[in-house]
Copies of this chain bind each other. A is one copy, B any other.
Amino acid sequence: MIIDSTPKKDGFVMPAEYEKHDATIMIFPERPGSWPYEAKEAQKVFAGIIKNVAASEKIYVVVSGNTKEKAAELLEGTANVEFLEIPTDDAWARDTAPTFVKNRSTGEVRAVNWSFNAWGGDYDGLYAHYEKDNALAKSICEKTGYDVYDAEPFVLEGGSIHSDGCGTIMATESCLLSPGRNPKLSKKEIEEKLKDYLGADKIVWLPRGIYNDETNEHVDNMCSFINKNEVVLAWTDDNNDPQYEMSLACLETLEKEGIIVHKLPIPDHPVTVLEDDLMGYVFEEGEDTREVGERLAASYVNFYFTNKAILLPQFGGENEESDKRAVKILSELCKDRKVIPIPARDIIVGGGNIHCITQQIPAKG
């Protein structure tokens, strides 16, 4: 059911990701321009993540006619998995599945549908055809029974926002104010949309995100709430790295807001596209392509909270030491959750990471 109102009017707010979930949504990958070599490695890594999520909550896995058999094979015998057969353009559930809001008084959970234009539409979108992705959120709601607030034609991806569950939304200016999203709206009008559809009363604007992040620097790759008024921020101490000024600018904003910041250093060595990767992609017309040596937007902040764990990207190779450092930092900050290291090079080659391919449905009640 489409609800002709807004979450704000009805007393709904977007819970924090670390609050209890009823379920997670993921999409099984197949797009040849995102996942090299017919997505074989990506599918294995996604299946591993699905199993880790399923260990403490239900997981909806969106499959297509092409992927359903492979998904069923790789996930055979895994409890808590429910397949939803819906066509998609790619596998970024964070950005194309609904965002969920909750009324803390009644305990009811509802969905929000945004307009999706592949991270920038004609201006700087990453693929030319995104009709299926744009229709996904409503299809998921139909199949799962969640009522939906419809924010269209407002363009937004779930990865471009984080909520503290108490009315504060964190976002990057580089993304939300990019001309590829809502060029006719002023910053103030964009703030009002976020407030109306996420039940928020305050927006913390970080200036930038991760260097070379093709989403126009989504916040979810840069900074994540780990508690109310407490975040981890992607960081580097190397002032020759282009990331340095970007992280520093965010740190200054967060400190001005009185938010407790824990630095989470990015990988010690750039994660780049290799010749072997490049030979595996098949790009379609109008799709953003890759090149050898291109620096990928690798960040440890792109982790995901399940009910019992944190699924943390690891990049391997010469980044073994920084991989371990990230595990240690998050383990110390989030003592009640098990930090599970996930080899994630086969996800970052698609352009995002574990947070980008997951979307939580907060617990009812």
**Chain A residues engaging chain B, CB cutoff 8 angstroms:** 11, 13, 16, 18-20, 103-108, 165-167, 199, 201, 226-230, 307, 334-337, 365
For the residues of A in contact with B, the DSSP-based class is loop
**Contacting residues, chain B, for A230 (C-beta < 8 A):** 11
> How far apart sit A105 and B334, CA to CA, in the bound complex (Å)?
8
B334 touches A227 (CB 8 A): no
Minimum Cβ distance to chain B for residue A169 (Å): 13
> How far apart sit A199 and B164, CA to CA, in the bound complex (Å)?
14
B336 touches A19 (CB 8 A): no
B167 touches A228 (CB 8 A): yes
Minimum Cβ distance to chain B for residue A1 (Å): 16
**Contacting residues, chain B, for A16 (C-beta < 8 A):** 104-105
Closest to A10 in B: B227
> How far apart sit A55 and B228, CA to CA, in the bound complex (Å)?
33
**Contacting residues, chain B, for A20 (C-beta < 8 A):** 107, 365
> How far apart sit A16 and B226, CA to CA, in the bound complex (Å)?
20
> How far apart sit A13 and B20, CA to CA, in the bound complex (Å)?
16
Our pick among B107, B228, B307, B336 for the contact of A336 (Cβ within 8 Å) is B107
Q: Give 22 A-B contacts (CB < 8 Å), ordered by A residue.
A: A11-B227, A11-B228, A11-B230, A16-B105, A18-B104, A19-B104, A20-B365, A103-B227, A104-B165, A104-B227, A104-B228, A105-B334, A105-B336, A106-B336, A106-B337, A108-B336, A165-B166, A166-B166, A166-B167, A166-B228, A167-B228, A307-B365
> How far apart sit A262 and B275, CA to CA, in the bound complex (Å)?
65
Minimum Cβ distance to chain B for residue A203 (Å): 16
> How far apart sit A166 and B337, CA to CA, in the bound complex (Å)?
22
Residue of A105, A199, A336, A365 with most partner-chain B CB within 10 A: A105
Nearest 3 pairs between A and B by C-beta? A166-B166, A106-B336, A11-B227
**Contacting residues, chain B, for A165 (C-beta < 8 A):** 104, 166
**Contacting residues, chain B, for A335 (C-beta < 8 A):** 106
**Contacting residues, chain B, for A18 (C-beta < 8 A):** 104-105
Minimum Cβ distance to chain B for residue A199 (Å): 8
> How far apart sit A166 and B200, CA to CA, in the bound complex (Å)?
12
> How far apart sit A166 and B230, CA to CA, in the bound complex (Å)?
14
> How far apart sit A106 and B108, CA to CA, in the bound complex (Å)?
22
B226 touches A334 (CB 8 A): no
**Contacting residues, chain B, for A226 (C-beta < 8 A):** 105
Minimum Cβ distance to chain B for residue A66 (Å): 38
**Contacting residues, chain B, for A108 (C-beta < 8 A):** 336
Closest to A225 in B: B105
> How far apart sit A248 and B255, CA to CA, in the bound complex (Å)?
39
> How far apart sit A18 and B11, CA to CA, in the bound complex (Å)?
13
14 new A-B contacts, CB < 8 A, other than A11-B230, A167-B228, are A11-B227, A16-B105, A18-B105, A20-B365, A103-B227, A104-B165, A104-B227, A105-B334, A105-B336, A106-B337, A107-B336, A165-B166, A166-B167, A201-B229
> How far apart sit A230 and B9, CA to CA, in the bound complex (Å)?
11
**Contacting residues, chain B, for A166 (C-beta < 8 A):** 165-167, 228
> How far apart sit A307 and B106, CA to CA, in the bound complex (Å)?
9
Our pick among B106, B199, B201 for the contact of A334 (Cβ within 8 Å) is B106
